[in-house]
Amino acid sequence: SDAGSQKERVVTEEEWLQKWEMGNIGFHKEQRHPLLQKYLDVLLNGRSGLRIFFPLCGKAVEMKWLADMGHSVVGVEVSEQAVKEFFSEHSLPYCEEPVPEISGAKLFQSTSGNISLYCCSIYDLSSLIVGKVDGVWDRGALVAVNPRDRQRYASLMISLVEKNSSYLLVTVSYDPNKHKGPPFYVPESEIKSLFG
């Protein structure tokens, strides 16, 4: 469980944009994630009408699924192409507006109002801008964050969640000396120290 060889690795925002442009998006799945279906009850905890946050959302199909259940979804994604593909692939009309607090950022909202995707870096967000959320689906997010930025990412996530919210986190376990990532290997001990 030594993540040493990945510690220094950096994937820039530009490289992520290029992955989207090249269609190099093996992380995107057309089917809903089985673990979200399995642990949906844990996420909802008997509550309805939640605000659910998707950090580093890509065009995750689960956003549509949760919105159709009556929840509102907030996501953040650096690639505008990804955000636009999400709305067009689900035939969802949307509007787009600047975010005054963040230069260059845009907010894409479904016309029905229950899906709000911020197109910017997650590190530009704060609870003053997005408000608080009741639940988090973190798949392909913590594991996509550059290892050196994990502490900053976790602190931000903690600042965005309401008390009594549920945070579902998916990680992958493998020998970090054999693959360079992403997804990066995040040891269990580090998850504990990041999130407590």
Judged by the rule CB under 6 A, the positions of this chain that interact with ligand SAH are 13, 16, 27-28, 56-58, 60, 76-79, 82, 121-123, 139-141, 144
Residue 146 among known ligand-binding residues = no
Closer residue to ligand SAH in complex, CB, 111/148: 148
Could you give the dihedral angle defined by the CA atoms of residues 49, 53, 57 and 62, in that order, rounded to the nearest 10 degrees? -30
Measured CA to CA in angstroms, residue 62 lies from 22, 119, 136 at distances of: 23, 18, 12
Structure tokens at 127: 């609870």
Q: Tell how strand 161-170 and strand 133-139 pair up.
A: parallel
Closer residue to ligand SAH in complex, CB, 123/174: 123
Residue 23 among known ligand-binding residues = yes
Structure tokens at 2: 């030594």
Residue 85 among known ligand-binding residues = no
Residue 16 among known ligand-binding residues = yes
Q: What distance in Å separates the CA atoms of residue 183 and residue 193, rounded to the nearest whole number?
A: 19
The CB-of-141 to ligand SAH minimum distance in angstroms stands at 5
The CB-of-190 to ligand SAH minimum distance in angstroms stands at 19
Closer residue to ligand SAH in complex, CB, 16/185: 16
The CB-of-2 to ligand SAH minimum distance in angstroms stands at 24
DSSP H or E stretch at residue 137: strand 133-139
* Binding-site residue positions: 16-27, 56, 77, 121-122, 139
